[in-house]
Amino acid sequence: MDLTGKVAILTGVSKGIGLATAEALLAQGAIVAGWGRTRPTDLQHERFHFFECDVRKQASVQAAFANTIQQLGAEVHVLVNNAGLGIAGPVDGFAADDWHTMFDTNVHGTFYCCQAVLPAMKRQQLGHIVNISSIAGTTGIEKMAGYCASKFAVRGFSQSLFKEVRTDGIKVTCLYPGSVQTNFFDDIPGTDANEHMMQPQDIADTIIYTLQTPFNFHIVDLEMRPLQPKK
């Protein structure tokens, strides 16, 4: 897809992978609707539009979508479901509220956003949804059971959705990044973000690559890992 002039909705836009992806989309000529609870303070661009949104709440997603199409038009070409979080802890001591927070953000938010954009994409017979899962969506990790469960859910949702909408000209890609140097690890005991990890720009560039594939095929699943991780 040529991204010039195309409308791209991007969740979790304020920092990390979301901010890098917004910048990458803008560099390709896209019109970016950044959804988040906090506006990125250092992103100023005539084609960037911020819409306040808490993806955990369906009403907030519906309001953000209504505001987006009112301001940018009825066509939506790209959705990048990037908003997500991880909370670590053993299962037998894990707070139910933390479990629900991860599922509300990582899983339910992805569902709400996909459901919002699909009618427009079906009318167009054109669209691309990119869901950000994780390596944790492919294998279990000690003391990360809740996060793994939520990212496994994103994986299953994405693989089911692509089969459901492919005949409508809609692509669905699920990314499984390994460790990325972001603030994700601030609250994960025993792991510190470091320069041996992938960079947010690496993930953003990969998203652009998947979006620019020719119309006749799409990348369904894509795993990414650091080449020389810290020992």
Instruction: Report d(CA 151, CA 197) in Å as an integer.
Output: 20
Helix axis angle, 109-124 relative to 145-165, nearest 10°?
10
| C-alpha triplet 1, 115, 117: angle, nearest 5° | 35
Q: Tokens 């901010």, residue?
A: 19
In the residue annotation, 112 being an active-site residue is answered as no
Q: Pick the catalytic residue: 112, 147, 176, 209?
A: 147
Nearest C-alpha neighbor of 82 from the set 190, 213, 173, 192: 173
**C-alpha torsion angle, residues 187, 134, 52, 127 (rounded to 10):** 170
Burial class from Cβ neighbours inside 10 Å (0-12, 13-18, 19+) for residue 180 reads buried
C-alpha span between 56 and 81 (Å, rounded): 12
Q: Which residues are catalytic?
A: 147
